[in-house]
Amino acid sequence: MAAPVPISEVKGNTRENRTAAHSHIKGLGLTNEGRASSAGGGFIGQAAAREACGIVVDLVRAKKMSGRAVLLAGGPGTGKTALALAVSQELGTKVPFCPIVGSEIYSAEVKKTEALMENFRRAIGLRVKETKEVYEGEVTELTPEEAENPLGGYGRTISHLLITMKSAKGTKKLRLDPSIYEAIQKERVRLGDVIYIEANTGAVKRVGRSDAYATEFDLEAEEYVPIPKGDVHKKKEIVQDVTLHDLDVANARPQGGQDIMSMMGQLMKPRKTEITEKLRLEINKVVNKYIDQGVADLVPGVLFIDEVHMLDLEAFTFLNRALESPLSPLVILASNRGLTHIRGGSSLPRSAHGIPTDLLARLLIIPTHPYSPPEIQQIIKTRTKTEGLLITDPALGQVSSLGEKVSLRYALQLLAPASVLAKVSGREGGTIDVDDITECEGLFLDARRSAHNLATGDGYIA
Ligand SMILES: Nc1ncnc2c1ncn2[C@@H]1O[C@H](COP(=O)(O)OP(=O)(O)O)[C@@H](O)[C@H]1O
Ligand SMILES: [Mg+2]
């Protein structure tokens, strides 16, 4: 059985934010009664879908949504991705939210189902409460003690670390192992920081800067904290949020035995670890034990699969099964497809949204609708503000009409290049005018015009 890993060694798994196009969305913009206000949270229109998402958020908070799935269905540019992001913002940072795009699961190195499983487990959180013996206080002295390198050769090594910590009740001087010095450097601890060191594991956590230094000039946003109460050496309740995937990674041991050859092998190769089904089952057992003992709480989060029609039959089957598992998050799917063939199932009849009927049957479907011209205009206006662009009223009118005629996406994408043109032609303050929009329209085709060109012109290589 895998020994439960000390939670403190577990790193987070935040992924890069790839959705700058939605930076104006701050939430679902609902009133206390759950009604959509006309332009709340950066959202314009799409009231019914926002209210439906609000109910989903409430259910997730009440932990009544795990193992279920919701489908956001609607045409391109109707705000499906934006809605999913707003749901995650409403849930807050403590509830895991794992966004992927359907096509992400195809890779030469990892099996599709393995990639899906990994993301399922990124979307399930565990909140662990532990009472630990710690040393906590403001760092008033930090001196590494050097010694001759015992292995000979050049250089000196750190033999000990002297650290003095101050709390409200007193100060304590500790002489610590050099490994803790590394941890301290990683956390970038300097004099005047409040930190705690776990007595058993030696894990170091920087809490913030002591508020005695609150007046010092600092460019970075710092968190100032008071000097800890009580003694330096004490018991402290520590709350940590990790995901099941974090636990998997932390417990996956490098492959190979403990003999010299395989250890050398590990030095040469980048450490490849494998998360096996067996390991996951064992982690689940440990997790369930923690939950039964009241040490940990399960925090089922949200797995968002955008462009879900990119999944194939095998992946859908897996999804169906994974939703049955007792440790399952809420799954939000999004698709802009109508009746179409399922990927990998062209011999089957066409199916709604490119999703097999057995999965469809268990989905709650939230439709999104195309926007009205005034809504389009307002969305574009919001976007120009967020991107810090200036635009004349006639130009705004023209972009908006493109939003209606072509697509909202196309209209939004023209804004940035149009502002470049506006600056190049030296318009005052770089304000986008009608001419810039017209020129951009000529420079950048939309999908329909490009297809039309191909059909009527020479059509490249067929
Ligand atoms: N109701 C809305 N209010 C404000 N912005 C919106 C709204 N709907 C969509 N957008 C914005 O329009 C763009 C396209 O929407 P998106 O969510 O990507 O559409 P979809 O995923 O349905 O294809 C994004 O930049 C999105 O933030
Ligand atoms: Mg989308």
Q: Give per-residue pLDDT as tens, 16-37.
A: 444 478 888 888 999 888 888 8
CA dist., res. 125 & res. 96, Å (int)? 6
Neighbouring residues of 333: CB distance < 8 A, sequence distance ≥ 6: 69, 70, 71, 72, 304, 305, 308, 355, 363
Instruction: Give the pLDDT score at 328.
Output: 87
Q: Is the CB of 46 under 6 A from ligand 1?
A: yes
| Mean pLDDT in residue range 25-54 | 88
Which atom, in ligand 1's list, is nearest to the CA of 39? Answer: 3
Q: Return the CATH architecture of domain 373-451.
A: Orthogonal Bundle (1.10)
Residue 391 gets which letter from DSSP? Answer: B
- Ligand 2 centroid to 19 CA: how many Å? 10
- The tokens describing 324, both together, are 């049955």
Burial of 237: CB neighbours in 10 Å, binned 0-12, 13-18, 19+: exposed
Q: Is the CB of 82 under 6 A from ligand 1?
A: yes
Report residue 451's pLDDT band, with 50, 70 and 90 as the boundaries: confident
Instruction: Give the pLDDT score at 266.
Output: 47
Could you read off the pLDDT of 260-283 as tens digits, one per residue?
444 444 444 444 567 888 888 888
Given a cut of 90, whether residue 99 has pLDDT beyond it is yes
DSSP labels, 85-150: HHHHHHH-TTS-EEEEEGGGG--SSS-HHHHHHHHHHHTEEEEEEEEEEEEEEEEEEEEEEEEE-T
Instruction: Give the pLDDT score at 221.
Output: 61
Could you read off the pLDDT of 172-227 as tens digits, one per residue?
999 888 888 888 888 889 899 999 998 888 888 898 888 888 766 555 567 788 99
Tell the CATH superfamily of the 125-298 domain: RuvBL1 DNA/RNA binding domain (2.40.50.360)
138, 134, 155, 142: which is closest to 184 by C-alpha? Answer: 142
Domain residue limits, the chain: 44-123+301-367, 125-298, 373-451
Instruction: Give the pLDDT score at 150.
Output: 67
Could you read off the pLDDT of 70-91 as tens digits, one per residue?
999 999 999 999 999 999 999 9
Instruction: Give the pLDDT score at 246.
Output: 87
CATH number of 44-123+301-367: 3.40.50.300
Given a cut of 80, whether residue 454 has pLDDT beyond it is yes
Residue 228 gets which letter from DSSP? Answer: P
**Collapsed DSSP state (helix, strand, coil) of residue 165:** strand
- Ligand 2 centroid to 17 CA: how many Å? 14
Q: Is the CB of 337 under 6 A from ligand 1?
A: no
Instruction: Give the pLDDT score at 16.
Output: 43
Mean pLDDT (the chain, rounded): 84
Q: Is the CB of 49 under 6 A from ligand 1?
A: no
- Ligand 1 centroid to 409 CA: how many Å? 8
91, 127, 112, 131: which is closest to 247 by C-alpha? Answer: 127
Instruction: Give the pLDDT score at 238.
Output: 83
Mutation to probe ligand 1, out of 43, 81, 380 (largest number of atoms < 8 A from CB): 81
- Ligand 1 centroid to 22 CA: how many Å? 7
- Ligand 1 centroid to 399 CA: how many Å? 15
Name the residue with tokens 């908070």. 61
Closest ligand to residue 307's CA: 2
Given a cut of 70, whether residue 9 has pLDDT beyond it is no
Q: Percent of the chain beyond pLDDT 70?
A: 88
Report residue 153's pLDDT band, with 50, 70 and 90 as the boundaries: low
Instruction: Give the pLDDT score at 220.
Output: 54
| For helices 47-61 and 80-91, angle between their N-to-C axes, nearest 10 degrees | 30
Neighbouring residues of 133: CB distance < 8 A, sequence distance ≥ 6: 198, 199, 200, 233, 234, 235
